[in-house]
Amino acid sequence: MNNSAFPESLSFPQAIAATQSLMDQINSNQLSELEAQQQISSILSSKNGGRGFFVAYLTSDMAWADNPSEGVLNGLKSTQEMSCELLVKNLAMSSAMIVAHSLNNDSDNVAGSEKVYRRTCNLIRQLNLQLVNEKLQELQNTIKNGRGEYQQFIERWCYNSKQKKAIQDAISEFLI
């Protein structure tokens, strides 16, 4: 399968399904690293594709997702703008949801959010991209100043002060 295997603009559900199929193929060693990289690049070529990829990848029950291969990392690097934006948002959402689920005594969802948080942090560290740091700084500034690049994102999810603090704490793990 190559880049042309996916429609130019996947829907969100199609992107989730494509990512799950891709992960099954990676898990059963059916793809080379280059093929995995190409398919990830193809999936992440649209906003819905990127969102669907990260939903499926970060929540997957496949243990190898905790240790992404070179093909996975290179696929994400080849789509830096999309990957970095979504990694920053997933870091924020997962850290905020850990707080929300903890307050609701929802241990199953706390565990799920912690897995997403852990995998997101791992990808950010392994990719080590300047663009991620820039976007993390923008998010931190938005929370600090109550306005900025991520204000619409913060308002859409109605994050409270405890959640914003958790997001800032998560960001501080990466920014010096």
Domain boundaries, the chain: 1-78, 80-176
For the chain, the residue count is: 176
Residue 32: Cβ-neighbour burial (10 angstroms; 0-12, 13-18, 19+): exposed
Query: Token pair for residue 50?
Result: 């990127």
For the chain, 176 residues long, give each residue's pLDDT as a single digit of tens.
Answer: 344 456 568 999 999 999 999 999 999 999 999 999 999 999 999 999 999 999 999 999 999 999 999 999 999 999 999 999 999 999 999 999 999 999 999 999 999 999 999 999 999 999 999 999 999 999 999 999 999 999 999 999 999 999 999 999 999 999 97
CB-based contacts of 98, cutoff 8 Å, min separation 6: 110, 113, 114, 117, 166
The pLDDT score that the predictor gives to residue 1 is 39
The pLDDT score that the predictor gives to residue 9 is 81
Q: What is the pTM of this model?
A: 0.93
The pLDDT score that the predictor gives to residue 168 is 98
Task: Please say whether the beta carbons of 91 and 117 come within 8 A.
Answer: yes
CB-based contacts of 121, cutoff 8 Å, min separation 6: 91, 170, 173
Q: Where are the alpha helices (DSSP H) in 28-176?
A: 33-43, 47-59, 70-77, 80-103, 107-127, 130-145, 151-156, 161-172
Residue 165: Cβ-neighbour burial (10 angstroms; 0-12, 13-18, 19+): middle
How many Å separate Cα 88 from the centre of its chain?
7
Scan for tokens 């560290």, then name that residue. 125
Q: Which of 4, 72, 6, 83 is nearest to 40 (CA)?
A: 72
